[in-house]
């Protein structure tokens, strides 16, 4: 159940669009891998500072900020690799006398890349923690004690999958056309979504209904 909440839209997207074209599956897997590597590097860097003191909120802010900056940097790198790939593919297409890549093809590649990122997020932040959910009870976190933890993480994962998927498409479009607004839009959205959690901390001071309030913000 939880897994489907987190991954439902991405699964349907996968079946409809990506499974038809094997190249997109490969793109998906490679972007998932890249995201995983970025996570590992980040965890390596932050390992020394964990476990964090959970009462103050600013270490978390730094954590999120650095992580997001790193990942946006990676997105730029992904874009550069993609440019080179596009050239190779076009040359190859000429060689076998097939038409060059259409715009929809390029967007599909971007979509697959973004979906890969989103799936990696959902898998690592939500699914891998679901193993205790198979048992009879459920689990609540102190921060947010109305909704079971698994449901919270599933909803957040859902939101992030959407964010990641579409931000990749927008980012590629932005880089391609040199459109500054688009280019800046993506990292800011990412940052905003990440910073939302800080909302939790501030609201920790106030009453508890906060976390069910912030949930709708996420889904927006």
Partner 1 sequence: MAQNQRPKSLLDSLGEEIIRILTPVSICMLLVVLLVSILNSSSSLSVTSSIATIAYSETGSDSSWDKFIGALLNSLVFVVVVTVATFILVLFFYLRCTKFLKIYMGFSSFVVLGFMGGEIALFLIEEFSVPVDCITFLVLLFNFAVIGVLAVFMSKMPIIVTQGYLVLIGMMVAYWFTLLPEWTTWVLLVAMALYDLAAVLLPVGPLRLLVELAMSRDEDIPALVYEARPVTHHDSASRPVQRRIWRERQNARLDSEDSSSLNSDLNSTVSIVQSSHNGARIARVEEGQVSERDAELSAPLIDRRMDAQDGMSTESLMLEGMGLGSSGAIKLGLGDFIFYSVLVGRAAMYDFMTVYACYLAIVAGLGITLVLLALYQKALPALPVSIALGVLFYFLTRFLLEVFIVQCSLNLLMF
- Tell me the C-alpha to C-alpha distance, in Å, between residue 121 and each of 42, 60, 115, 181, 194: 14, 18, 10, 26, 13
Total site size for partner 1, rule CB under 8 A: 65
Q: Give 3-state DSSP helix, strand, coil % of the chain, rounded to 5.
A: 80, 0, 20
Q: Which is nearer to partner 1, 134 or 207 (CB)?
A: 134
125 binds partner 1 (CB under 8 A): yes
Contacts for 96 with CB less than 8 Å, ≥ 6 apart: none
96 binds partner 1 (CB under 8 A): yes
Write the binding mask 2 to 21 for partner 1: x where contact by CB under 8 A, - elsewhere.
Answer: ------------------xx
Nearest approach in angstroms of CB 27 to partner 1 is 9
In this structure, how many other beta carbons lie within 10 angstroms of the beta carbon of residue 66? 13
Q: Peptide bond before 96: cis, by omega within 30 degrees of 0? A: no
Q: Which is nearer to partner 1, 93 or 179 (CB)?
A: 93
Locate 178 and state its tokens.
Answer: 């040199």
Interface contacts to partner 1, rule CB under 8 A: 20-26, 29-30, 32-33, 36, 39-40, 42-44, 46-47, 50-52, 54, 60, 63-64, 67-68, 71, 89, 92-93, 96, 98-102, 105, 108-109, 121, 123-131, 141, 143-144, 152-153, 156-157, 160, 190, 193-194, 197, 200, 211
């Amino acid at each position: 159940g939880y897994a489907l909440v987190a991954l439902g839209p991405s699964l349907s997207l996968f079946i409809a669009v990506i499974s038809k074209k094997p190249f997109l599956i490969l793109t998906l897997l490679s972007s998932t891998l890249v995201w995983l590597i970025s996570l590992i590097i980040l965890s390596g860097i932050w390992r020394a500072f964990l476990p964090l003191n959970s009462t103050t909120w600013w270490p978390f802010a730094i954590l999120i900020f650095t992580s997001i900056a790193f990942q946006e940097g990676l997105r730029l790198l992904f874009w550069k690799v993609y440019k080179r790939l596009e050239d190779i593919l076009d040359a190859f297409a000429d060689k076998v006398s097939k038409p060059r890549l259409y715009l929809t093809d390029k967007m599909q590649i971007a979509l697959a890349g973004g979906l890969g990122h989103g799936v990696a997020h959902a898998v690592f932040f939500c699914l891998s923690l679901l193993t205790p959910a198979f048992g009879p009870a459920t689990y609540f976190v102190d921060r947010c004690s109305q909704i079971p933890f698994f449901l919270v993480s599933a909803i957040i994962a859902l939101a992030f999958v959407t964010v990641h998927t579409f931000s990749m498409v927008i980012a590629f479009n932005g880089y391609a056309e040199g459109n500054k607004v688009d280019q800046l839009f993506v990292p800011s959205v990412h940052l905003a979504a990440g910073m939302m959690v800080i909302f939790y901390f501030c609201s920790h001071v106030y009453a508890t209904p906060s976390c069910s309030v912030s949930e709708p913000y996420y889904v927006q």
